Amino acid sequence: MNLILFALKKPITIMVLVVSLLFFGISAIKSVKIDIFPQLGLPVLYIAHPYGGFTPNQMETFFTKQYINTLLYVNGVKSIETKNIQGLALIKLNFYPGTNMAAAEAETSAASARAQALFPAGSNPPFIIRFDSSTLPVGQVIVSSDKRNNNELLDLANVYVRSAFTTIPGLLSPPPFGGNIRTVVIKPDPALLRSHNLTPDQIVRAIAINNQTTPSGNVRVGDKNYITPTNTTIHKIKDFGDIPLFKGSVGNVYIRDVATVEDGADITVGYALVNGKRSVYMSIAKNADASTWEVVQKLKKALPKMQSQLPDDVKLTYSFDQSVYVINAEKA
């Protein structure tokens, strides 16, 4: 009863209050992000460290144990779970609820960088992934062509398409999948190596020595200072066969004498099928605080510009569109 009397005595105040609620309510509705899942913010980080050729026991000995000794001192770590398979170490970091995951990810990255000194030579930096249900794929960009193979499409997708995603706010994308990375394959013949008293390690060292760029110097002639570049990188695949293998005697042997050189690709360990045809695709993901609907709409608008950077026979299509469910939910 008192509220009614107050409203009758203060009509202007009540009117201003109602208009304010209406204004801020409309503003709040416009600012609410349209999405499939809420931002959960799970306190979990994953570390994936590949190293080809190592057995699960070797991955545990040379990588996982070193990681654990370092990551135990990251603030907020609750528990560490590990799994080792051939050529890959997987580590799951569970943090206490309420942990600032952005700071935890930065500290984990710094700790993993310090652990690099303990790993075998030639080890690359690990992949650090923050998983959340709101970062699930929102679609797939498919790269197709009737003239090019999947290896060429993979290269085009990685160089031209993926790099263009940086212009779309909130958009993330892992590397393209479905093709093999171009690789120069050198296959030594064991019988020929034995006949020349050579080992595969000698081929590896010869390639490393004869395919590199060293710092250049300068030569001063009169009042001019000339640059003297020393570039010994190989420009043609067939030239790998001309690399000499020194035996410590007069009769040198070349790689072409004991091995074959191929312009090939890495070993196929997985492939993608789109409508029953081998294809290359890029799984599209978004930031946890981005709107699925906005990210997908901006991506669709940017596809024609990406298409213009590709050859005429290469086509970009968008499929597995998750924004449809968001729009339908909004209408419902």
Q: Are residues 237 and 227 both part of a single domain?
A: yes
Ranked by mean pLDDT, the top range of 105-109, 177-181, 224-228, 283-287 is 105-109
Q: Residue 68 domain-assigned?
A: yes
Answer whether residue 36 shows pLDDT above 70.
no
pTM of the model: 0.61
Spell out a b/e string for 235-255, using b for 16 or more CB atoms within 10 Å of the CB, else e: eeeeebbebebeeeeeeebeb
Q: Residue 82 domain-assigned?
A: yes
**Residues 86-96: pLDDT tens digits?**
889 999 999 99
**Residues 122-154: pLDDT tens digits?**
788 888 887 765 566 778 888 888 888 888 888
Q: Are residues 170 and 277 both part of a single domain?
A: yes
Residue 197 φ/ψ region, left for φ over 0, alpha for ψ in the -120 to 50 degree band, beta for the rest: left
Q: How confident is the model at residue 41 (pLDDT cuts 50, 70, 90)?
A: low
Q: Are residues 285 and 220 both part of a single domain?
A: no
Answer whether residue 297 shows pLDDT above 80.
yes
Which range marks the domain in which residue 163 is found?
136-181+269-331
Whole-number Å distance between alpha carbons of 168 and 299: 7
- Per the CB < 8 A criterion, the answer to whether 243 and 207 are in contact is yes
Query: What are the structure tokens assigned to 231, written together?
Result: 């570039």
Q: 3-class DSSP state for residue 2?
A: helix
Whole-number Å distance between alpha carbons of 28 and 21: 10
Q: Are residues 250 and 227 both part of a single domain?
A: yes
Number of domains in the chain: 3
Q: Are residues 247 and 298 both part of a single domain?
A: no
Q: Percent of the chain beyond pLDDT 90? A: 14
**Residues 187-216: pLDDT tens digits?**
999 999 888 888 888 888 888 888 877 777
Q: Residue 128 domain-assigned?
A: yes
Beta strand pairing call for 244-245 and 44-50:
unpaired
Q: Are residues 318 and 252 both part of a single domain?
A: no
Q: Report the CATH number at residue 227.
A: 3.30.2090.10
Q: Are residues 89 and 151 both part of a single domain?
A: no
Last residue of one domain, picked from the residues 218, 246, 265: 265
Q: Residue 38 domain-assigned?
A: no
Whole-number Å distance between alpha carbons of 123 and 54: 12
Mean pLDDT of the chain: 81
Last residue of one domain, picked from the residues 133, 155, 170: 133
Q: Report the CATH number at residue 173.
A: 3.30.70.1320
Q: Are residues 236 and 216 both part of a single domain?
A: yes
Q: Are residues 167 and 59 both part of a single domain?
A: no
Q: Residue 20 domain-assigned?
A: no
Q: Residue 19 domain-assigned?
A: no
Distances (CA, A) of 228 to 209, 217, 221, 231: 19, 5, 12, 10
- Residue 177: what pLDDT? 83
Whole-number Å distance between alpha carbons of 40 and 18: 33
